[in-house]
Amino acid sequence: MQNTNKSNIEHWNERIDLAVAFRWTARLDMNEAVSNHFSLAVNEDGTQFLMNPNQAHFSRIRASDMLLLDANDSETMNAPNAPDPTAWGLHASIHRACPHARCLMHVHSIFATVLASLTDSSMPPIDQNTATFFNRMVIDNEFGGLAFEEEGQRCAAALDDPSKKVLVMGNHGVLVTGDSVADTFNRLYYFERAAETYIRALQTGQKLRILSDEIAEKTAQEVEGYPEQADRHFAELKAILDDEGVNYAD
């Protein structure tokens, strides 16, 4: 429910969408304490973007809390209310180099992180959700510590292909991209579900029933073309928060 007293704040609707994504990520227990970050580009070349404030818990973030940052501003980390330095290193690097990646969501969710911790972090298509990501994810095997700027630049290079919208960050977590907050959150949600299915299937110790490349690609294309799924999913989440009177749009 929008607070009209603050609706004149720049990029207000985009701020609201990000706030919804933060609140639902917390409800799904996919965030990690006061770490992890989401961002959304708000200019054509992607260099200006909204992002969550430094070390704020996802369950409390509101639309008015979002930082408006410029990836080309070298003084950002010296300014008052500067973002988390790892968030700046990762998100600014990607927004600067990958204008096609409008929204970025980085989490250390349990099953995606387990996948990222395996020697082979690929995810074979064994059901509809895992097939959704067939040939649509890339794996970074070069973990070098916290995601400061050097790490961010390497991740940006890995995402230069617009068809690759999921980056499995080896030994770290996952970063998902998309065209909007709704599109990206929907992809993040289903990637975690897909990773859970795969990890639980591995835990049985039985041989996996892997789909053919042809069927996996067909399934992925059908999911991509399914009408309005991401927008309808996100609208329902927003409606639930509104019904509960949650103050995300303050």
Q: In the chain, which stretches have pLDDT less than 70?
A: 1-8, 144-149
Each residue's pLDDT tens digit, 79-97: 888 999 999 999 999 999 9
- What is the rounded CA–CA span in Å between residue 208 and residue 201? 7
The predicted pLDDT at position 9 comes to 86
- What is the rounded CA–CA span in Å between residue 132 and residue 96? 28
The predicted pLDDT at position 104 comes to 98
- What is the rounded CA–CA span in Å between residue 10 and residue 120? 43
Supply 181's token pair: 């907050």
The predicted pLDDT at position 80 comes to 86
Does this model's pTM top 0.85? My answer is yes
Question: Under a CB-based contact definition with an 8 Å cutoff, are residues 250 and 64 in contact?
Answer: yes
Q: Quick one: 12-244 is in which CATH superfamily?
A: Class II aldolase/adducin N-terminal domain (3.40.225.10)
The predicted pLDDT at position 6 comes to 64
Domain locations along the chain: 12-244
